[in-house]
Chains A and B, each alone.
Chain A
Amino acid sequence: MIAGISIYEILTVTSILFFIGIYGFITRKNLISILISIELIMNASVVNFVIINKYLYPDILQGVLFSIFIIAVTAAETALAVAIIINLYRQISSVEVKDTETMKY
């Protein structure tokens, strides 16, 4: 536990981070920027898992293990998304959302 910091303050910070991610997800028009916003959202949720584990159930480790799995899934997702973006750029020379109309020729 962090001395002098209550769980409410940390949850406030992660909620703000989550909604900044949502804001970026909606306003950005570029696929890579959207990927960055998804990373922010994922990170906020992982921190929530860890904080709740540490503050409410310190003698079990479920939150930590779940956050390890979430990080692994995020890594896989990012690798696939980057592959898709590069392939898309090769085919239509753009990574803007509005140009992405077809998934397959």
Chain B
Amino acid sequence: MEKIIFYILALLMIVFAIASVSSRKMLRSVIYLLFVLVSVAGIYFLIDYNFLGAIQLTVYAGGIIVLIIFSVLLVHHIEMELEVAKTSKKILTGIICAIGLGVFLTTIYSYNFNVVENSISTTTEDIGTKLLSYGNGGFILPFEVISVLLLAAMIGAIIIAKGKKLTDKIN
């Protein structure tokens, strides 16, 4: 059963990813990206990391997609079609990507992974304790740094998007 669900999710992911990078309509391309992100969340739920699946759904599907849709609507007409690259360039890029994929896959399949059979379930409590522990292997410092980074990014985004008007007022 889980096997079938995984194959369905993998198929959805790949098909919608290809649709997302090849669709000529901007807004459709964003919606295809949304399907890819939801499929990734499905994989997280499938391997029993519920917290990560929830983060994926709220941050990516809820936040980033809405942000990108806003920017698309601000800078485009909905029906505007994109310029496409030349066919020769597309084919060349496709060949390069296929070669890269081949290298990746031969490396992966020739490496012998030490898979540990397990069915350990990770609770949100474990993640929270680990994230806030200052003992050995704790993650309190990156956690604090990332909060400062998010604040800085937020202020920076406001300044950049609003910059001109603010300086006009001062002058």
Residue ranges of A at the interface with B (Cβ–Cβ < 8 Å): 1-13, 15-24, 26-30, 32-33, 35-37, 39-40, 43, 46-47, 50-51, 54-62, 64-65, 67-69, 71-80, 82-87, 89-90, 95-96
Contact = CB atoms under 8 A, between A and B. Distances in A.
B153 interface: yes
A25 B128 CA distance: 35
A83 B149 contact: no
B130 to A, nearest CB: 5
Contact of B97 (A5, A23, A43): A23
Nearest to B103: A15
A48 to B, nearest CB: 10
15 contacts: A10-B6, A13-B10, A13-B14, A20-B14, A20-B18, A28-B21, A36-B30, A43-B36, A54-B48, A59-B120, A65-B131, A74-B64, A75-B63, A76-B149, A86-B71
Contacts of B154: 76, 79
A5 B75 contact: no
B115 A55 contact: yes
Nearest to A29: B83
A47 to B, nearest CB: 6
Interface in B53-95: 55-56, 59-60, 63-64, 67-68, 70-72, 74-76, 82-85, 89-90, 93-94
A27 B21 contact: yes
Contact of A1 (B47, B67, B82, B122): B47
A105 to B, nearest CB: 11
Given A71-B56, A89-B74, A56 B40 contact: no
Nearest to B65: A39
Interface string B159-171: 0110110000000
